[in-house]
Structure 1
Amino acid sequence: MKAAIIYTSKTGNTEELALELHGCLSRHIPTDIYTAGRISPSQLNDYEIIIIGTYTWGMGEIPLEMMSLYEWIECQNVNHLTTAVFGTGDRFYPNFCGAVDKFRDMLYVHTNLAATLKVELSPQRSDREKCERFADILMKRISKQASPV
């Protein structure tokens, strides 16, 4: 079983969070990390777990560079995928991490959504614990799927 983290970052905050999550997940499962546009949708078929990281643009919108991934997942039969989504945002804006919410809602419908994480601006020391919990929740979901009913 392999995981892919696919993220985009404008200010470096989401990249920092992606790297922290990569460290947490890599202790449990082989995890590759890509920036948006560096992985083709066909390559996603090599993974059982997809973790998406995004910042929020404008009034809660998904950044343009993440739209092809969003649309690909939305239009494919990917209910076998386990997914998670994370992102950074600023509570100053009315739709804090709105892109995370939009991905979350779509992933919930089309995949096996396991976890969501939102971080205010740049990840702080206290957010490391949240990253560990995010990884633990994701791993528990995977182990439940792998165990026979």
Structure 2
Amino acid sequence: MKLTIVYSSISGNTEELAHMIMEQFKLKGLDIACYRVEDFPLHLLPTFDGLLIGTYTWGDGEVPLEMIPLQTQLNSRSWEHLITGVFGTGDSFYPKFCGAVNAFRDSLKDKTNLAVTLKVELLPQESDMGRIATFVDRIIERMSILA
């Protein structure tokens, strides 16, 4: 199965989380591509079996502007074959902690085969590794069911 991570990061926290997730997949022997959203070729989206979206939250819980084209593409039609997961970092000081993760989750659950979400406080820590491993395992389980 063809799997990719597409992420956006302004502080480096979500980028760090994306790389930690990618390493967990590699430890399980799976090949996974990883793209900053600006470098992801949207026209290749239909070629993937799994898409993991990483986003920070902007403003009052909004999806960052650079993520809007990906979100629009995903909302444009049904992608039942596409197994998805959404992850992000945020600061729980704000009332809409990881609001962009919630926004992607809400739109993906009706358009894709959404498997899991993950929210991490600020910079991912060693203490987050168990939750990261669970995130990866849920994606793998969903992919196994459909294989």
TM-score tier by shorter-chain length is over 0.9
Tell me, which stretches of 5 or more residues in structure 2 are unaligned?
A: none
Checking the alignment, whether the CA contact within 8 Å between 1:84 and 1:114 is kept in structure 2 is: yes
Find out whether 1:96 has 2:97 as its counterpart.
yes
Once the two structures are superposed, what CA deviation does each residue of 1:28-51 show, in whole Å capped at 9, x if it has no partner? 421000001101211112210000
Structure 1 ranges of 4+ moved more than 6 A:
none
Alpha-carbon separation, structure 2, partners of 1:87 and 1:13:
8
Aligned residue for 2:79, secondary structure, equals coil
Query: In terms of mean alpha carbon deviation, does 60-69 or 32-41 score higher?
Result: 32-41
* Shift in Å, 1:128: 1.2
Find out whether 1:105 has 2:106 as its counterpart.
yes
Tell me the TM-score normalized by structure 1.
0.95
* Shift in Å, 1:144: 1.4
Aligned residue for 1:54, secondary structure, equals strand
Alpha-carbon separation, structure 2, partners of 1:28 and 1:118:
25
1:23 corresponds in structure 2 to 23
Alpha-carbon separation, structure 1, partners of 2:25 and 2:109:
21
Alpha-carbon separation, structure 2, partners of 1:15 and 1:142:
24
Residue pairs, 1:100-139, within 5 angstroms: 100-139=101-140
The percentage of counterpart residues that share the same residue type is 47
Q: CA RMSD in A?
A: 0.9
* Shift in Å, 1:25: 1.5
Tell me the TM-score normalized by structure 2.
0.96
Alpha-carbon separation, structure 1, partners of 2:77 and 2:96:
28
* Shift in Å, 1:127: 0.7
